[in-house]
A = this chain, B = another copy of it.
Amino acid sequence: MRIAVDAMGSDNNPVPDVAGSVMAAQTFGDTIILVGDQALIETELAKQDTSGLSLEIRSASQVIGMKDTPSVAAREKRDSSMHVGLALVREGAADAFVSAGNTGAILATAMLRQTGLGRIPGVLRPALGVVFPIVTRPMLIDNGANTDCKPEYLLQFGIMGSTYMEHVMGRPQPRVGLISNGEEEGKGNLLIKEAIPLLAESELNYVGNVEPRDFVQGTIDVGVTDGFTGNIMMKTAEAFASYMNSSIRRNLMGNLSTKIGGLLSKPAFARVRAEMDPDEVGGAPLLGVNGVVIIAHGRSNAFAMQQAIGQARRVAEKQVVAAIEESIAKHALRAAQPD
């Protein structure tokens, strides 16, 4: 396996990006191609014991930052680490690309037809799937690649998410639900109401409209939503988990006995944090582009980068891109048949 890693992606690049790549090379034995500023990468590599590891450097002279406008960066920074890394996948020189950089820019660069990956044949819109770090590990798709959607996009998000969960997470017949403001008939906005028959008539294991509670409690494996709602749902979950944490901490400091209680409880809180650590889950797969792309958090540390690289190799190994192409084609064929 050959994985291209954006060395200039994370907020603290290239430190965690390079360190995580070294860890991944050790753990998985794969070849990691570090893409970015050669001198900076070499400096970071010199800090590590890399003997016996298969590490390569591919130089890229430009860096796309978090403040770059995605469409502009994709068009103009043609020698960025993202462009070069994605081109490696395009040319077959790498099996996957991992970046902790600007999500919009990765998406825009991956979509470039001439130099990026373009879409899997039949896919209308690539989408960002995020597996939530909760016990039941459900996927929410889309998480922000498409702020305005058509019902057909939602159907394809369901197909892509379902294919991913089956092949990568080993869940047979993943249960797919449309995230809505209620389960009852007649609930949902216009988009959801128009998407319902498409999912209901598809070959997906569609279980109906579901509420956020169902997503959290494990009623479904794949929650389908437009990228605006999905992004807000993900960020609301993060914001309230964080709020709960600080609220508990503040109240534990209220008096001596709860302070002691808090000290004794520390290992339990550490386990809660570990369980909900997004790094454990890896990065977010960009599904629907014609190649394996995993987007890690901007604030990824070396461990998070290693996990994202591990996920990238699993997605490549399980041939998810080919499986999505097949699922989409199968659906199109089935939809074209008379009843």
**A residues whose Cβ falls under 8 Å from a Cβ of B:** 69, 134-135, 144, 147-148, 179-182, 186, 188-190, 192, 211-213, 215-217, 226-229, 231-233, 235-245, 247-248, 251-252, 254-255, 257-258, 260-269, 271-272, 275-276
Contact = CB atoms under 8 A, between A and B. Distances in A.
A213 B180 CA distance: 21
Contact of A268 (B217, B232, B254): B254
Nearest to A258: B268
Task: Kindly report how many copies of this chain are found in the complex they form together.
Answer: 2
Contacts of A189: 147-148, 226, 228
A253 to B, nearest CB: 8
A211 B268 CA distance: 30
Centre residue among A227, A236, A255 by max chain B CB count within 10 A: A236
Nearest to A66: B184
Given A181-B228, A215-B239, A264 B268 contact: no
A211 B232 CA distance: 7
A182 B102 CA distance: 13
Contacts of A260: 261, 264
Contact of A240 (B216, B231, B252, B265): B216
A208 to B, nearest CB: 16
Centre residue among A135, A144, A248, A264 by max chain B CB count within 10 A: A264
Contacts of A268: 248, 251-252, 254, 258, 261-262
